[in-house]
């Protein structure tokens, strides 16, 4: 089975640092809940934080497009795709051109939704580490499942190398 590059990150600053070194262009797909916004945030906070992240990453030279995807309901922010149906969302739903040569980076906190979506899209994946002390039981259960799935779909990488999308 073809595996995709995967890197663990502690925060979005680490992703931004990697982007600063990348020539681009890239499409970024962010998970919303627990990646950009803590679970249970008010819709005002959700909208504020999501828009701030979109603005921040859209302004980077190597970034062509920023997509924020949530499996939760559509909340406030009109720049978010709600009810994202991860990991089964397809490129058409995301407005990605078929056979586009633009590499995709997916940034999320759950392997079995965000990571599997990255794998399906032939993207590179960045797994955001979550402090177990802050975790919700349902999320923690999904995270444990993710540990079994990760070795099947990821090859660990410390360096930025272009993802191989040819096997798709």
> Contact positions toward Mg ion, by CB under 5 A?
31, 33-34, 109
The C-alpha atoms of residue 80 and residue 91 are separated, in whole angstroms, by 15
Minimal distance in Å, beta carbon 71 to Mg ion? Answer: 8
34 vs 89 by CB, closer to Mg ion: 34
120 vs 165 by CB, closer to Mg ion: 120
6 vs 34 by CB, closer to Mg ion: 34
Minimal distance in Å, beta carbon 18 to Mg ion? Answer: 20
Q: In what order do the strands lie in the sheet with 154-156?
A: 80-81, 63-69, 26-31, 104-108, 124-128, 4-9, 154-156
Pairing of strands 154-156, 4-9: parallel
50 vs 165 by CB, closer to Mg ion: 50
Instruction: Tell me whether residue 73 is exposed, middle or buried, using C-beta atoms within 10 angstroms of its C-beta: 0 to 12, 13 to 18, 19 or more.
Output: exposed
The C-alpha atoms of residue 139 and residue 111 are separated, in whole angstroms, by 11
């Amino acid at each position: 089975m073809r595996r995709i590059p995967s890197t663990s990150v502690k925060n979005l600053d680490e992703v931004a640092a990697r982007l600063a070194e990348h020539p681009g262009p890239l499409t970024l797909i962010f998970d919303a809940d627990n990646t950009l916004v803590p679970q249970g945030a008010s819709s005002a906070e959700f909208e504020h934080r999501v828009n701030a992240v979109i603005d921040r990453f859209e302004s980077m030279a190597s970034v062509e497009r920023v997509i924020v995807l949530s499996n939760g309901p559509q909340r406030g922010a009109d720049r978010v795709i709600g009810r994202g149906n991860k990991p089964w969302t397809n490129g058409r739903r995301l407005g990605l051109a078929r056979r586009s040569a633009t590499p995709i980076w997916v940034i999320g906190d759950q392997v079995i939704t965000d990571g599997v979506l990255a794998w399906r899209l032939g993207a590179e994946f960045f797994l955001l580490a979550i402090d177990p002390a802050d975790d919700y039981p349902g999320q923690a259960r999904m995270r444990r499942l993710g540990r079994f799935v990760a070795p099947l779909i990821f090859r660990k990488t410390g360096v930025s190398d272009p993802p191989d999308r040819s096997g798709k």
